[in-house]
């Protein structure tokens, strides 16, 4: 098979304009207009509005090219478009070649009889997506979240491009993935499906090779297979084998449980000794499913990899940039490496974006990040017409065939939140829409999966208890989206009232750092209630919500910069409160995926890494609360009881109970040391306790009552040691940060090479190290200090103008 990429020489224009602009393909309208300086940065201040207005227009891309003579010689010649966003009419040499209407699909057009020797012209007209959804909504009323533009469910285009509660309304368009000519004779490989059967010391690979054979070809071609093992040793198998046995297999494991060895499988088809086509993928040898089993609480729900039940730790992933063409392998790798740096073993690809590129999964395979993969349906009802049915079947098949081999692919999931919403008739405007829900996620998608990926686990929705509107967000089965903290305004101590089986969403917002805020504001915008700051906050009234939670916890921060820092601590403390609780109940709970990992533009949001890749406090906290060996504390104090100052009886229980989580495959003998300290960090009382923690489990220590602790002047510190090595530590107060009498810790630092040594003269809570550009990634940050010194390593970025602060500085 011959492939001729059609990436050079493109020009574009707004329909109606005469002047053509040079265009980058793959790319997009916004990307080209930006490069050609025909539009302003849509992320700057409120430029989003004018950028959105542009999409009322149609845009045209055109190219002239010569098809290679070698390609033209083939019996089959196709134009293959890996991604067209979205409503496209394609013209080859002036004549209509075909139309496309789904950005999630791969489109192929037969051009054998239409390509000329010499020069050919290809023109693709992209119709306005905003006009389309407006008209479509008039015809069929399908509703969804009001954060996105009315009518968005009617077009198979990343929903969040029409806005979300963290995303702008920027429905870009264009040739967003590779476009190429493909030539083949006799046959090409349609697909190869490799399934695995694990035995004691070997793995059988079963191969199903499907060909796309041209009419009139008499003989079925033969194929050969090569397998290159992780060490690079290649073995060849001839005569069209249907089964290959790998002895002494090296198993693939999620991050934290073992290595990620990958085997490369290459299948080559030939006819009479002449190679026709080949196919190559990397696979990991592993079994991976969701383990569901009835137990005394309901039904357990956990990832089972190579027979081991794993506690899922990670976050929800959304598109990395609203301008999709700016997402590339380097950038994605950088983002995903920060996930494993924070001890993630899982990511959930949320269903309101798009199916990521192959490189996203390649990187997940390499890093050991299991992928919970939603199909791209979210927060909307859909009306299942024949046309829509056909379209989504093709979409599901395309993406399943593209992604099913990835070692990291943990499960397919029907949609985001729609079982729960349809169950309560949210956005449902007809009984048919309710029936269509069941058809789509419990009949059509499973049917397509049966044909193309019978191996990977399928879950009908997130959240779900297994389908059929049977308690979709029930706490005792399946996965849960828990939003009472944040959307429901409950204090974050509320997490402790639940023992979910697997939390696939829970979150808390914060502002990004000052440098990121500066990237979209003028100095006069830098007040969280300003027009521009509110434009970069897409959750209704949520800057006020941050302030509401803030008042419950911290003193009032009197500068803008301190407010940003405080909001990040609030977010980090909230999610820590949840995750540590969930891990303490390992076994009953088997997953904590917080909402959300990343941002698609600079914005106030639930992300732990902002659009400019700056780690918020939460990401450092995540690195600590997702550590395989982790000590945490269930304290009883003002926050967990009644923070209302005006009660006449303010007697509260003051106690703590420490717990050690061991998310490794070895039983551990560890020791826990705790101290009661005064606010200068002077030790008043201490204890060291040996603890044995079984592999893959959590163990409680005994409860300790501290009735005499001075609420606003004394605190608890605790540490976990593996031998002499300190592996995890923390502190708690029994009061609220706003009332605690923090002493000035007189923070200072010295720096030698890449090591920063921070000194504190007293207890310092959530010590932040930042440099002028706020672009350091450190081995630790936003940590507590019991006076003394702490050494931190610079992992990336250059130290320049380092500044330190802690909760003491929130005033």
Question: At its nearest, how many Å lie between ligand BMA and the CB of residue 318?
Answer: 8
Sheet of strand 655-662, all strands in order from the earlier edge strand to the far edge: 629-636, 655-662, 697-705
DSSP label at residue 267: E
**Per CB under 6 A, 374 contacts ligand BMA:** no
Q: Does residue 143 interact with ligand BMA by CB under 6 A?
A: no
- Kindly state the smallest distance separating residue 628's Cβ from ligand BMA, in Å: 28
- Strand ranges in 149-241 using DSSP code E only, listed in sequence order: 162-164, 167-169, 174-175, 179-184, 187-198, 202-213, 222-228, 234-237
In terms of CB distance, is 152 or 763 closer to ligand BMA? 152
Q: Of 126, 164, 360, 549, which one interacts with ligand BMA (CB under 6 A)? A: 164
- Give residues 179-198 in contact with ligand BMA (rule: CB under 6 A): none
CB of 352 to ligand BMA, least distance (A): 6
Residues 6+ apart with CB under 8 A from 272: none
Site string for ligand BMA, 432-471 (x = CB under 6 A): ----------------------------------------
Q: Which of 61, 427, 595, 715 binds ligand BMA (CB under 6 A)?
A: 595
Q: How far is the CB of 462 from ligand BMA (least distance, A)?
A: 8
CB of 350 to ligand BMA, least distance (A): 6
> By CB under 6 A, which span of 75-83, 162-170, 194-202, 450-458 interacts with ligand BMA?
162-170
Segment contacting ligand BMA by CB under 6 A, of 82-90, 164-172, 227-235, 790-798 = 164-172
Stretch in the footprint of ligand BMA (CB under 6 A) among 163-171, 465-473, 644-652, 741-749: 163-171
Convert 161-186 to b/e letters by CB count within 10 Å (16 or more is b): bbbbbbbbbbbbbbbbbbbebbbbbb
For residue 211, report the phi and psi dihedrals to the nearest 5 degrees: -110, 155
Nearer to ligand BMA, 179 or 413 (CB): 413
d(CA 373, CA 505): 14
Nearer to ligand BMA, 416 or 568 (CB): 416
Q: Give the rounded distance of the alpha carbon of 265 from its chain centre.
A: 28
Nearer to ligand BMA, 166 or 620 (CB): 166
Nearest to 26 by CA among 80, 91, 100: 80
Pick the closer one to ligand BMA by CB: 86 or 462.
Answer: 462
The least distance separating ligand BMA from the CB of residue 676, rounded to whole angstroms, comes to: 39
Cα separation, 528 vs 534, in Å, equals 7
Contact between 126 and ligand BMA per CB under 6 A: no
Site for ligand BMA (CB under 6 A): which residue of 379, 444, 590, 609?
379
CB of 402 to ligand BMA, least distance (A): 24
**Please, which residue, 399 or 504, has the CB nearer to ligand BMA?**
504
Which of residues 348 and 790 has its CB atom nearest to ligand BMA in the complex?
Answer: 348
Cβ closest to ligand BMA, residue 462 vs residue 513: 462
Q: Tell me the C-alpha distance between 283 and 262, whole Å.
A: 6
Stretch that binds ligand BMA, among 130-138, 158-166, 190-198, 678-686 (CB under 6 A): 158-166
CB of 376 to ligand BMA, least distance (A): 12
Of 166, 621, 782, 783, the residue at the interface with ligand BMA (CB under 6 A) is 166
Q: Is 165 in the site for ligand BMA (CB under 6 A)?
A: yes
Phi/psi of residue 206, nearest 5 degrees: -100, 130
Q: Which is nearer to ligand BMA, 85 or 417 (CB)?
A: 417
Q: Is 62 exposed, middle or buried (0-12, 13-18, 19+ CB in 10 A)?
A: middle
> What minimum distance in Å lies between the beta carbon of 776 and ligand BMA?
29
CA 336, 341, 342, 347 dihedral sign is positive
Q: Which is nearer to ligand BMA, 126 or 377 (CB)?
A: 377
- Output 166 or 626, the one with its CB closest to ligand BMA: 166
The answer to whether the beta carbons of residues 250 and 261 sit under 8 Å apart is: yes
Tell me the closest approach of the beta carbon of residue 161 to ligand BMA, in angstroms. Answer: 14
Nearest to 312 by CA among 371, 247, 358: 371
Segment contacting ligand BMA by CB under 6 A, of 133-141, 161-169, 255-263, 701-709: 161-169
Between the CA of residue 165 and those of 127, 342, 634, 652, 772, what are the distances in Å?
Answer: 26, 25, 32, 38, 30
Q: Name which of 77, 608, 153 is nearest 376 in CA terms.
A: 153
What are residue 264's DSSP bridge partners? 228, 282
Strand partners, 691: 670
Bridge partners of residue 131, in order along the sequence: none
Of 635, 621, 716, give the one whose Cα is nearest residue 673. Answer: 716
* CA end-to-end span of the chain: 68
CB of 313 to ligand BMA, least distance (A): 19
Q: How far is CA 576 from the centre of its chain?
A: 18
Binding string to ligand BMA for residues 474 to 513, with x set by CB under 6 A, is what? -------x-----------------------x--------
**Near ligand BMA by CB under 6 A, which window of 159-167, 276-284, 394-402, 721-729?**
159-167
Quote the CA–CA distance of 105 and 109 in Å, as a whole number: 13
- Helix (H) or strand (E) run with residue 384 in it: none
**Nearest CB to ligand BMA, comparing residues 187 and 379:** 379
* 416 contributes a contact to ligand BMA by CB under 6 A: yes
Q: How far is the CB of 473 from ligand BMA (least distance, A)?
A: 11
CB 720 within 8 A of CB 672: yes
Contact (CB, 8 A) for 476 and 299: yes
Contact 565, 557 (CB under 8 A): yes
DSSP run (H or E) holding 787: strand 783-796
Instruction: Report the distance separating Cα 397 and Cα 374, nearest Å.
Output: 14
Q: Given the complex with ligand BMA, which of 320 and 809 has the nearer CB atom?
A: 320
Q: Would you tell me how many other CB atoms lie within 10 Å of the CB of residue 306?
A: 16
Q: Which residue number, 619 or 668, has a Cβ lying nearer to ligand BMA?
A: 619
Q: Which stretch binds ligand BMA (CB under 6 A): 160-168, 212-220, 547-555, 570-578?
A: 160-168
Is 334 or 487 the residue whose CB approaches ligand BMA more closely?
487
Of the pair 420, 699, the CB lying nearest ligand BMA is at 420
- Strand 591-594 versus strand 308-310 pairing type: unpaired
Residues 302-361 that bind ligand BMA (CB under 6 A): 352
Give whichever of 134 and 545 is closer to ligand BMA, judged by the CB atom: 545
Alpha-carbon span 564 to 560, nearest angstrom = 6
How big is the chain, counted in residues? 811
Closest approach of ligand BMA to the CB of residue 584, in Å: 25
| Residues contacting ligand BMA: total by CB under 6 A | 10
Give CA angle at 659 (368, 686), nearest 5°.
130
CB of 470 to ligand BMA, least distance (A): 20
In this complex, which beta carbon is closest to ligand BMA, that of residue 79 or of residue 315?
Answer: 315
* Residue of the chain from 48, 277, 417, 675 that contacts ligand BMA (CB under 6 A): 417
Between strands 167-169 and 162-164, the pairing is antiparallel
Least separation, in Å, of the C-beta of 332 and ligand BMA?
20
Task: Note the Cα 329 to chain centre separation in Å.
Answer: 15
Greatest Cα pair distance in the chain: 93
Which residues of this chain interact with ligand BMA, rule CB under 6 A? 164-166, 352, 379, 416-417, 481, 505, 595
């Amino acid at each position: 098979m011959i492939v001729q990429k059609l990436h050079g020489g493109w020009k574009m224009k707004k329909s109606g304009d005469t002047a053509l602009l040079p265009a980058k393909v793959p790319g997009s309208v916004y990307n080209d207009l930006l490069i050609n300086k025909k539009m302003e940065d849509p992320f700057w201040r409120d430029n989003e509005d004018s950028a959105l207005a542009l999409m009322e227009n149609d845009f045209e891309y055109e190219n002239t090219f010569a098809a290679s003579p070698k390609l033209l010689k083939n019996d089959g010649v196709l134009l293959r478009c890996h991604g067209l966003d979205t409503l496209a009419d394609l013209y080859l040499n002036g004549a209509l070649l075909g139309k496309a209407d789904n950005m999630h699909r791969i489109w192929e057009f037969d051009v054998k009889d239409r390509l000329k020797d010499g020069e050919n012209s290809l023109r693709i007209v992209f119709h306005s997506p905003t006009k389309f959804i407006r008209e479509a909504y008039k015809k069929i009323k399908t509703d969804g979240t009001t954060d996105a533009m009315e009518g968005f469910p009617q077009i198979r285009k990343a929903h969040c491009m029409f806005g979300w509660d963290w995303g702008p309304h920027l429905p870009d368009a264009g040739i967003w993935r590779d476009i190429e000519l493909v030539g083949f004779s006799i046959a090409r490989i349609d697909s190869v499906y490799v399934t695995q059967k694990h035995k004691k010391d070997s793995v059988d690979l079963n191969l199903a090779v499907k060909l796309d054979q041209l009419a009139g070809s008499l003989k079925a071609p033969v194929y050969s297979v090569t397998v290159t093992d992780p060490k690079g040793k290649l073995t060849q198998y001839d005569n069209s084998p249907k089964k290959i046995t790998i002895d002494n297999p090296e198993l693939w494991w999620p991050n934290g449980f073992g290595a990620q060895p990958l085997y490369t499988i290459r299948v080559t088809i030939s006819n009479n000794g002449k190679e026709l086509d080949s196919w190559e993928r990397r696979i990991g040898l592993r079994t991976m499913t969701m383990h569901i089993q009835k137990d005394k609480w309901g039904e357990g729900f956990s990832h089972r990899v190579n027979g081991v039940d794993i506690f899922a730790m990670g976050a929800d992933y959304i598109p990395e940039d609203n301008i999709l063409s700016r997402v590339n392998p380097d950038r994605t790798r950088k983002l995903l490496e920060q996930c494993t740096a924070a001890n993630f073993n899982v990511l959930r690809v949320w269903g309101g974006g798009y199916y990521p590129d192959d490189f996203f999964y390649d990187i997940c395979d390499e890093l050991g990040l299991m992928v919970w993969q939603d199909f791209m349906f979210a927060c909307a009802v859909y009306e299942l017409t024949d046309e829509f049915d056909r379209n989504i079947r093709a979409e599901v098949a395309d993406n399943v065939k593209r992604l099913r081999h990835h070692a990291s692919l943990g499960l397919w999931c029907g949609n985001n939140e729609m079982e729960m919403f349809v169950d309560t008739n949210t956005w449902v405007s007809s009984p048919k829409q309710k029936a269509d829900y069941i058809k789509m996620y419990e009949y059509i998608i499973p049917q397509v999966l049966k044909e193309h990926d019978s191996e990977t686990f399928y879950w009908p929705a997130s959240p779900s208890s297994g389908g059929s509107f049977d308690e979709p967000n029930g706490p005792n089965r399946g996965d849960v989206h828990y939003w009472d903290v944040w959307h429901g305004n409950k204090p974050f101590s509320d997490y402790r009232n639940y023992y979910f089986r697997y939390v696939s969403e829970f979150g808390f917002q914060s502002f990004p750092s000052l440098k990121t805020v500066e990237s979209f504001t003028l100095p006069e915008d830098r007040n969280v209630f300003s027009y521009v700051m509110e434009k970069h906050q897409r959750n209704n009234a949520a800057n006020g919500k941050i302030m509401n939670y803030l008042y419950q916890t911290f003193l009032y921060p009197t500068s803008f910069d301190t407010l940003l820092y405080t909001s990040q601590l609030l977010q980090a403390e909230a999610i820590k409160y949840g995750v540590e609780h969930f891990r303490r109940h390992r076994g009953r709970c088997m997953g904590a995926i917080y909402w959300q990992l990343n941002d698609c533009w600079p914005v106030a949001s639930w992300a732990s890494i902002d659009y400019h890749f700056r780690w918020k406090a939460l990401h450092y906290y995540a690195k600590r609360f997702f550590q395989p060996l982790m000590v945490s504390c269930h304290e009883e104090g003002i926050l967990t009881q009644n923070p209302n100052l005006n009660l006449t009886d303010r007697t509260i229980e003051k106690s703590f109970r420490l717990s050690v989580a061991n998310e490794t495959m070895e039983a551990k003998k560890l020791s826990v040391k705790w101290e009661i300290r005064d606010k200068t960090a002077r030790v008043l009382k201490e204890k060291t306790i040996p603890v044995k923690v079984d592999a893959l489990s959590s163990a409680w220590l005994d409860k300790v009552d501290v009735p005499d602790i001075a609420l606003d002047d004394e605190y608890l510190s605790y540490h976990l040691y593996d031998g002499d090595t300190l592996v995890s530590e923390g502190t708690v107060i029994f009061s609220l940060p706003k009332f605690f009498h923090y002493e000035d810790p007189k923070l200072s630092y010295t720096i030698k090479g890449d090591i920063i040594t921070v000194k504190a003269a007293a207890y310092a809570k959530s010590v932040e190290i930042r440099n002028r550009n706020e672009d350091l990634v450190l081995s630790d940050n936003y940590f507590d200090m019991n006076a003394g010194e702490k050494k931190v390593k610079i992992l990336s970025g250059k130290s320049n103008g380092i500044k330190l602060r802690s909760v003491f500085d929130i005033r």
